[in-house]
Amino acid sequence: MCCLGSTANAESGQTAATESLLARLPSANLRETATLVGELEQSGGDRMLPLFQIMLDGRLYSRKSDDALVAVTQPPTGDWVLTDVFTGASLGTATRREVSKVRVNNRLRVQLREAIARIQLNAEDAGARLAAVDTLFGDLNDSSAALLSERRDLETDDKVKGAIEEALALYRLRSSSEPAVQVAALNVLAESLNTEVRYAVEQLAAADSAAALPVRNAARKALTRIDSNLEFYGFLEQLFFGLSLGSVLLLAAIGLAITFGVMGVINMAHGEMIMLGAYTTYVIQLLMPDHIGLSLWIAIPAAFLVSGLVGVIIERGVIRFLKGRPLETLLATFGISLILQQAVRTIFSPLNRQVASPEWMSGSLEINAALSITYNRLYILLFALLVFALLQLILKKTSLGLNVRAVSQNRDMAKAMGIRTEWVDAMTFGLGSGVAGVAGVALSQLTNVGPNLGQSYIIDSFMVVVFGGVGNLLGTLVGGFTLGVANKFLEPMTGAVLANILILVFIILFIQKRPKGLFPQKGRAAND
């Protein structure tokens, strides 16, 4: 009987010899299956890749009615779904009794992985060839080492060629007993960041009686070099996480820096503006469930408008009546924050909400075996810098920015010059609140959205503003990144809670020496 059917045979272009081998798979025992896999690899080449992968996944079955090989998908309920092994075409459904599984054991799985890797070594895509080398890495035998040696002479991609050199060096280190060969292999492996390589070198460096003195010395030298490289890339990873945290602090604090610098208002509801921006992102995703990537772009201006409008309402309805009374303003904005939190709990419930990330923000950029950068944090870092640049442009190049700077430096003189300071206050508070809403969009990609989201960042935002200099955007930038990096480098040594305490103590001591922060504001009002 034909094992694949006429359609599959025609589309996959199998030879008669290959068809004969495939026909024997359903009735073969494990030993015979191992032999058949080797023969199929020889006769079918890369055309057998789908078959081997399905076998490795444990989804290869034969249909009892005609012995046809099929790939099976088992849904939670209902009959099993059958597809063609080579083309993926639908073959209908079947019950469990209508199909028989092609058995695979651990030894056969190892053989399948090696066969897949050997096939992929000749793939056109460099990424597929690199994945094949990674599969074989550390498990080379004489035949696979010879295969890699042949591939090395043909390889044109430097990254793949380097991986092959590293795999062969590890193989020579483990298989050879000649000190000269082992030392040469260690010289190659000294630049490796692979954990398996480090373990092998560490074992050799500690084997005082099993290795010759030149080999042990070379192993210790290589181990020192490997640890030095790992420490360097570990430092870079910590630095990136620190900059990532700093970008979040910058987004959360930059709006506060504007309102605090211009109006002198301690806005305890600033965290709730961040929360409103995050919930705006969640609502827009609910309205556009099939367009996650587009919904995120729409959420940015929408969050700015929602949080900015709420900010203007708060300023016009409450804060303008409390000017010159900082304690009452603090208490009023704290009460507003509680009202907003309760309103969100009433509308959305107290439970946290998950905001999906678009595909282009998922995953990570793997620079090497020791350093990878997550895309979501990288994009948020770039986004924070973009928001900072746009705000600088607004404050430096627009009439609103000129009025804001005039009011922040000397309110009485600006009013005497005809500037509508009350209008500037409202627009400034709305701008700062809108930027906080944009920060909420970014935070929705890093954490769950909940009523207490803003409370996690309000204290840190004030610390950034005070440390950088009240009303100075450059100080907010430097302060945010400085505190973010310092926090991430302290955490491994002290723990997260103690790291935050140490940062707070540092800021208290710093303010004693520089009460106006790193970049004090200029102007007559600033000198009062």
- Could you tell me if residue 232 is inside a domain? no
Q: Are residues 93 and 126 in the same domain?
A: no
Instruction: Write the pLDDT tens digit of every residue in 162-216.
Output: 889 999 999 888 888 888 898 999 999 998 888 889 988 888 888 765 557 888 8
3-class secondary structure, 88: coil
Instruction: Write the pLDDT tens digit of every residue in 62-114.
Output: 998 888 899 999 887 788 999 999 888 999 898 888 999 998 988 898 888 88
Average pLDDT over residues 368-397: 89
CB 36 within 8 A of CB 27: no
Does 498 score more than 80 pLDDT?
Answer: yes
Does 437 score more than 90 pLDDT?
Answer: yes
Residue 283's pLDDT band, with cuts at 50, 70 and 90, is very high
Number of domains in the chain: 3
Does 148 score more than 80 pLDDT?
Answer: yes
Q: Are residues 353 and 282 in the same domain?
A: yes
- Between 121 and 61, name the one with better pLDDT: 61
> What are the angstrom distances between the C-alpha of 165 and each of 133, 150, 171, 188?
10, 12, 10, 8
Percentage of residues of the chain with pLDDT beyond 90: 26
**pLDDT of amino acid 14:** 62
**pLDDT of amino acid 313:** 93
Q: Are residues 133 and 95 in the same domain?
A: no
Instruction: Write the pLDDT tens digit of every residue in 323-339.
Output: 778 888 889 999 999 99
Identify which of 100, 118, 103 has the alpha carbon closest to the alpha carbon of residue 40.
118
- Could you tell me if residue 237 is inside a domain? no
Sign of CA dihedral 23, 29, 33, 39: negative
Sign of CA dihedral 154, 157, 158, 161: negative
**pLDDT of amino acid 521:** 63
**pLDDT of amino acid 242:** 92
Lowest mean pLDDT among 285-294, 316-325, 446-455: 316-325
Please give the distance of CA 296 from its chain centroid, rounded to a whole number: 17
Distance CA 438, CA 289 (A): 20
Does 5 score more than 60 pLDDT?
Answer: no
CB 113 within 8 A of CB 99: no
Range(s) of the domain holding residue 466: 245-358+405-527
**pLDDT of amino acid 528:** 47
Q: Are residues 193 and 294 in the same domain?
A: no
**pLDDT of amino acid 208:** 64
Torsion of Cα atoms, 404 then 407 then 413 then 418, to 10°: 50
Instruction: Write the pLDDT tens digit of every residue in 35-70.
Output: 988 888 888 878 888 999 899 988 999 998 888 899
Lowest mean pLDDT among 34-43, 117-126, 336-345, 402-411: 402-411
Q: Are residues 460 and 345 in the same domain?
A: yes
Q: Are residues 322 and 462 in the same domain?
A: yes
- Could you tell me if residue 413 is inside a domain? yes
What lies within 8 Å, CB to CB, of 123 at 6+ separation is 46, 129, 132
